[in-house]
Structure 1
Amino acid sequence: MSRDMGKAAIQRMKPAKLRPGDAVRLVSPASTPDKDGVMHSIRLLESLGLRVELGRHVFDRLGYLAGRDVDRQADLNEALRDPEVRAIIATRGGKGAYRIADGLDFAAMRADPKPLVGFSEVTILHLALWHHAGVPGIHGACWDTDRFGEESAQSFKRSLLSAEPITVCSKPNETTAALTSHGRASGVLLGGNLDMIAAAAGWVLPRLAGAILLIEDVEKGLGHIDRHLTRLLKAGCLDGIRGIAVGQFVGFNESQGWSVVDVLRDRLFPLGVPILGGLPLGHGPDAVAIPVGTKAVLDADQGTLTVEPAVQ
Structure 2
Amino acid sequence: MIRYPELKRNARIGVTAPSSGVPSILHDMFKQLCERMEQRGYEVICGNTVWTQEKAKSAPANVRAAELNEMLKSDDIDLIIPPWGGELLIEILEHVDFSGIKDKWILGYSDTSVLLLAITLKTGLATAHGTNLVDLRGKYSDETTAMWEQVLSTSAGESVLQKSSKKFQEEWQHDNPTPCIFHLTNETNWKTVSGKKECVEGRLLGGCMDVIRHLIGTPFDLVQQFKQQLIPNEPVLWYLENCEMSTTDLRRTLVQMKLAGWFEGCRGILFGRSAANNPVDHYTAEDVYEEFARELQIPIIYDVDCGHKPPQITFINGAYAEVEAEDGKGIVLQHFKP
Same fold? TM cut 0.5: yes
Is the CA contact 1:190–1:211 (under 8 Å) kept in the aligned structure 2? yes
User: 1: distance between equivalents of 2:32 and 2:265?
Assistant: 42
1:206 aligns with 2:222: yes
Q: What residue ranges of structure 2 are gaps of 5+ in the alignment?
A: 168-186, 228-234
Q: 1:84 to 1:190 in 2, by over 3 A?
A: same
Of residues 3, 25, 30, the one that matches 2:19 is 30
**Equivalent residue runs for 1:1-312 within 5 Å:** 8=1, 10=2, 12=3, 14-20=4-10, 22-33=11-22, 34-109=26-101, 112-140=102-130, 141-142=132-133, 143-144=135-136, 146=138, 149-163=141-155, 164-169=159-164, 173-174=187-188, 177-179=191-193, 183-203=198-218, 204-207=220-223, 210-300=235-325, 303-308=330-335
Runs of 4+ in 1 over 4 A off after TM superposition: 170-176, 180-183
CA distance in 2, matches of 1:196, 1:215: 11
Q: 1:36 to 1:270 in 2, by over 3 A?
A: farther
- Looking at structure 2, the residues matched to 46 and 269 of structure 1 have their Cα atoms a distance apart, in angstroms, of 49
* CA deviations over 1:84-113 (Å, ceiling 9, x no partner): 10001111111111111243221222xx20
State the alpha-carbon separation in 1 of the partners of residues 291 and 201 from structure 2: 23
Q: 1:156 to 1:259 in 2, by over 3 A?
A: same
CA–CA distance in structure 1, aligned partners of residues 190 and 110 of structure 2 = 17
The one-letter amino acid paired with 2:308 is H
Give identity over the alignment, percent: 23
Contact 2:204 2:315 in 1 (8 A): no
- The answer (yes or no) to whether the contact 2:207–2:239 under 8 Å persists in 1 is yes
Residue 18 of structure 1 aligns to a residue whose secondary structure is coil
Native 8 Å contact 2:202 2:320 kept in 1: yes
| Cα shift readout 1:163-211 (whole Å, capped 9, x = no counterpart) | 4513233879557625366543322101111122211122323326521
Deviations 1:141-178 (A, max 9, x none): 22337388522441233233454513233879557625
Letter in 2 for 1:82: S
Distance in 1, matches of 2:43 and 2:308, equals: 27
Secondary structure at 1:84 match in 2: coil
- What code does the residue aligned with 1:205 have? D
Length-normalised TM-score, structure 2:
0.79
Aligned residues: 298
Q: Is the 8 A contact 1:175 1:249 kept in 2?
A: no
Deviates more, 1:123-132 or 1:135-144: 135-144
Structure 1 residues not aligned, in runs of 5+ = 1-7
